[in-house]
Amino acid sequence: MRYLALHALSVYDVDFLIITSPHYHIITLSHHHIKQMTFELQHTDPNSNARAGEITTDHGKIETPIFMPVGTVASVKAVHFKELKDDIKAQIILGNTYHLYLRPGIDILEQAGGLHKFNGWDKPILTDSGGFQVFSLAANRKLNEEGATFRSHIDGSKHLFTPERAVDIQRSIGADIIMAFDECTPGDADYNYAKKSMELTHRWLVRGTKHFDATEPKYGYSQTFFPIVQGCVYPDLRRQSAEFIASQNRDGNAIGGLAVGEPTEKMYEMIEVVNEILPHNKPRYLMGVGTPQNLLEGIERGIDMFDCVMPTRNGRNGMLFTSQGIMNMKNEKWKNDFSPVDEFGTSYVDHAYTKAYLRHLFISKEYLALQIASIHNLAFYLWLMSEARKHIQIGDFVPWKAEMMYRIARRL
């Protein structure tokens, strides 16, 4: 199905007008009438800053707190979307702007009708701006006021990302939630570098916001734009950035530049500093975090959304996170353990296979091992989020969290 979106100049008494032809579904949209993402704050924990809420997008609702599996190049590695939806219970996934821009390329995604049509995922998608990937390729990138030039890690070709270009690319990808283009400051950056980096991110944000507001969605559903707080590990910079980001009055806000080498306690401190300032009635997204313990600590401090490659990446290397602790499935101790992979697990793989069999698959380097471990870990992360939400609603999140922190950190 092809979509041709037209800006409506005179049709302000209807939300949209659809004209059907044999070749096109022509959708005429008014920027002023497109339904925006909403966030309902439903419960707050009486003894912490933990919250439970609900985000509504045109591709469905998201119950928070939520973990978002990472689908870097339009797939969550080793996991079918049917498993993501029906077994893991994922409500939203991530796509990576940098990787999708390079492969399959924006032209292909536009021909497909956007990423949802291209990969078959019909629930919400969030795309990062590509900033983290551009800046992690430090040897290949150059930074200036205009944006960042970099060379592709695939073929060495040269490219330029600007705040405006990052918006255009994400419009074409068709993400429900689009992220601002920012510089992800290293966790060990000195104060002067962190300050200059933050100020550049803010200037880029003004440009990105202006361009987002001047452009339209391409596929007949709404998109929203989240700015990102930076400032490294310096409380005054984090406060300054949080105030600037809050002043933009977007539908949600993100905290970036954490879990990039700074001590864990510093990360928690920065979350507290920032969340004192970010508005309570907007979702807060902690980017690229983290371990199960990190997630619970983030929730206690008022974070609503998380993403990280850890459950899939660590899973592919034999590490399983469970409600009883951490297992290394390559260890000799599982060689003749014929009990289920995780007797308390929520996924079908936890009960369909044994620890001994899963260890055998890893030792034999069978691809099925990567699938089982990835599915298990993602299901555990989503279960942990739903349990946290339940205990926020009940009002006993803090004691539940204390017990869980002890259990999930154990080495089995």
Residue range 286-319, pLDDT digits in tens: 999 999 999 999 999 999 999 999 999 999 999 9
Contact assessment for residue 178 and residue 171, using Cβ atoms and an 8 Å cutoff: yes
Residues 63 and 152 in one domain: yes
CATH of the domain at 247: 3.20.20.105
The predicted pLDDT at position 137 comes to 63
Residues 13 and 49 in one domain: no
The predicted pLDDT at position 258 comes to 94
The predicted pLDDT at position 35 comes to 66
Given the structure tokens 């806000």, which residue do they identify?
Answer: 253
In the set 128, 182, 304, 342, the catalytic residue is: 128
Of 308, 329, 361, the domain-final residue: 308
Distance CA 198, CA 193 (A): 9
DSSP conformation class of 8: -
Residues 293 and 348 in one domain: no
- Secondary-structure percent of the chain, ordered helix, strand, coil, rounded to 5: 40, 20, 40
Contact assessment for residue 176 and residue 283, using Cβ atoms and an 8 Å cutoff: no
Residues 276 and 330 in one domain: no
In whole numbers, what is the pLDDT of the chain averaged over residues? Answer: 91
Task: Note if 307 is an active site residue.
Answer: yes
pLDDT digits (tens, 9 = 90+) for 386-404: 999 999 999 999 999 999 9
Residues 302 and 401 in one domain: no
Residues 75 and 193 in one domain: yes
Whether residue 341 has pLDDT greater than 80: yes
Residues 221 and 339 in one domain: no
Q: Which residues are within 8 A (CB) of 365 and not within 5 positions of it... i.e. 6 or more apart?
A: none
Residues 115 and 246 in one domain: yes
pLDDT category at 19 given cuts 50, 70, 90 is very low
Task: Note if 128 is an active site residue.
Answer: yes
The predicted pLDDT at position 60 comes to 98
Number of structural domains the chain divides into: 3
Of 278, 308, 338, the domain-final residue: 308
Residue 6 CB coordination number (10 Å)? 13
Q: Which tokens in the block code for residue 7?
A: 């800006």
Residues 369 and 296 in one domain: no
Given the structure tokens 């700015």, which residue do they identify?
Answer: 227
Q: Which tokens in the block code for residue 238?
A: 């984090």
In the set 45, 87, 304, 307, the catalytic residue is: 307
Residues 275 and 339 in one domain: no
**What ranges make up the beta strands (E) of 197-301?**
224-226, 228-229, 253-255, 284-286
Question: Which amino acid would we find at residue 233?
Answer: V
Residues 366 and 411 in one domain: yes
Residues 265 and 331 in one domain: no
Distance CA 132, CA 184 (A): 6
Q: How far is CA 193 from CA 131, 228, 241, 362, in A?
A: 17, 17, 14, 44
Domain encompassing residue 22: 1-33
